Amino acid sequence: MKPALLGRRAADRIPVTVGLASMELALCLALCVSLFLTSAASSQVTFQRLRNSAAEPGSWLTYSGSYSSQRFSSLREITPDNVGRLRATWVYQIQSPGLVETTPLVADGMMILTEPPNNVTALDLKTGRSLWSWRHPLPEDVRTLGFPPVNRGVAWLGDTVYVGTLDAYLFALDAHSGAVRWQTQVADNKTGHSITAAPLAIDGKVIVGISGGEAGIRGFLDAYDAATGKLLWRFWTIPGPGEPGNETWKGDSWKTGAGATWITGSYDPEIDTLYWGIGNPGPDWNGDVRPGDNLYTSSVVALDATSGKLRWHFQFTPHDTHDWDANQVPLLVDATVDDRPRKLLATPNRNGFYYLLDRANGQFLTGVPYIRQTWARGLDESGRPIVIPGTEPSVEGTLVYPSLQGATNWYSPSYSPETGMVYVAAREMGAVYFKGEADYEPGEYFMAGGEQARSGDDAYGAIRALDLRTGEKKWELWLRTPPWSGVMSTAGGLVFGGDQEGNFFALDAATGKTLWRFQTGGPLRSNPIAFEIDGHQHVATAAGGALFVFGLER
């Protein structure tokens, strides 16, 4: 750890990315080379570190904190007893306008975050001072169909960070300077392909999900060589002719079947398997043109991470017509179920049900509603919903709970092995769903309808704690409006979360009691993280147009 060196290097290198006279540049480069030689070893986020992230809770190395995506920090310094002494350590003002949905990464004295629309910034962890910033200019006609121009974070592997852009490129940047090592075009943005999710870095590979579920894309998940940017494999989320699952589409409807992969998935290195949520079918609200289950939309898929081949899938919402993407972060948990140790996958889904699966084989174990839902009588023994007739969108409008934003959304859930509870920011909201026309034009909306959501006092939100095995609600915190921010649990016995009203709060993980809160002044649309500065636990979240870091007053 050489914070002084990092700070020095940063000060020297800031101008590089914003343009500098050549003499100064030469001087700077010379300095950088020498500094690189002295400190390169201090920021190598190796696969081994990523795999053993629980062993270094002072860092936050990957989007969900670990490959199991529990968004659980094993730090214990901040507890229910002392959280009342939590104070702001520093605040970083986001330098560009737009919604801030980033989850920062923390390692080796640096914090690396993204700013709208797809800028990357490195901060000195100790002070919040900027080290470097990288900007990727977007074409004026960049297509972001169905979502705001946001970015949710980077992946970090070795001394390189990886970021996807709204115009569907993947960039590899030097973690020390922001210099571009390589770039590759993932897809054509003119057809509505885009990237908002943080990539996932595993052993030598960068896994990248794609957005465009409202543009009639054919979704995929890609793996790129982390060193070169070469495409290693592509898994099509919509099977083509001759492939299993293609029979769940009619005619050519698979070609515009959507199934985006726009939220970072999870990884089990022991069995080299990726778990990734797949988005809604296209068009969203008119299923007439795509009769069938529409695999693998609104599903979770388990993929061989080396080959990209499908191991199994589980479809939460067959033939979805409510835009209930399964683009949530799957929680990977190892626990005993029915007196047997099992590899589990837990996920509160957008369709209103909480699911527990065996992730070794995709077997359905449990599924219960965790919000008010009015579209299914329940799930059958295989986990398939028993749909109530007449709940499809219609020209006249059909009132259904939950709304298309779902019972939860892209922001992260958390699991605490200490309490055995799954924590989720839940949305209690209905909507009148409309069915419209479905004409496909490349690069245009392909939705065929929409909703008018019930808002105001007809909707609300909650932080809910669910029993991992049964989904039973253990406690909840009422929120004025449906939230857009994720949660994090800690070994200290806390759950951190935020609301649209600007509150960042700490709850007792066992009881849900509010123990601390801070009014940030802007809605939270982010996920909390935890890490250490100088050996002391801190937590951070984006809120409004700023990033806040908190630590105990000492």
Residues near another protein (CB under 8 A) are 285, 395-397, 399, 432, 434, 436-437, 439, 444-445, 447, 449-459, 477-480, 499, 501-503, 505, 514, 517
Exposed e or buried b per residue across 453-489, where buried means at least 16 C-beta atoms within 10 angstroms of its C-beta: bbeeeebbbbbbbbbbbebebbbbbebebbbbbbbbb
Instruction: In angstroms, give the least distance from the CB of 290 to another protein.
Output: 18
Q: What is the nearest approach in angstroms of another protein to the Cβ of residue 22?
A: 45
Q: Smaller CB distance to another protein: residue 304 or 444?
A: 444
Nearer to another protein, 135 or 454 (CB): 454
Shortest approach of another protein to residue 144 CB, angstroms? 13
Q: Which CB sits closer to another protein, 375 or 433?
A: 433
Find out whether 200 and 65 touch, Cβ atoms under 8 Å.
no
Tell me the backbone φ, ψ of residue 248, rounded to 5 degrees: -90, 10
CB of 116 to another protein, least distance (A): 20
How many C-beta atoms surround the C-beta of residue 312 within 10 A? Answer: 17
Q: Which is nearer to another protein, 277 or 498 (CB)?
A: 498
| From 325, 457, 458, 508, active-site residue | 325
The residue (of 117 and 461) whose beta carbon lies closer to another protein is 461
Cis status, amide bond into 239, omega within 30 of 0: no
Token digits of residue 230: 């070469």
Backbone angles phi, psi at 383, to 5 degrees: 95, 5
Least distance to another protein, CB of residue 477, Å: 6
Residue number, 272 or 444, with CB nearest to another protein: 444
3 state SS for 227-279: CCCCEEEEEECCCCCCCCCHHHCCCCHHHHCECCCCCCCEEECCCCEEEEECC
Cα dihedral 270, 271, 274, 277 sign: negative
Q: Where are the beta strands (DSSP E) in 130-263?
A: 130-134, 155-157, 160-164, 169-174, 180-185, 200-202, 205-209, 220-225, 231-236
Is-catalytic flag, 325?
yes
Nearest approach in angstroms of CB 448 to another protein is: 8
Listed residue (222, 298, 303) closest to 257, CA to CA: 298
Instruction: Supply the residues annotated as catalytic.
Output: 325
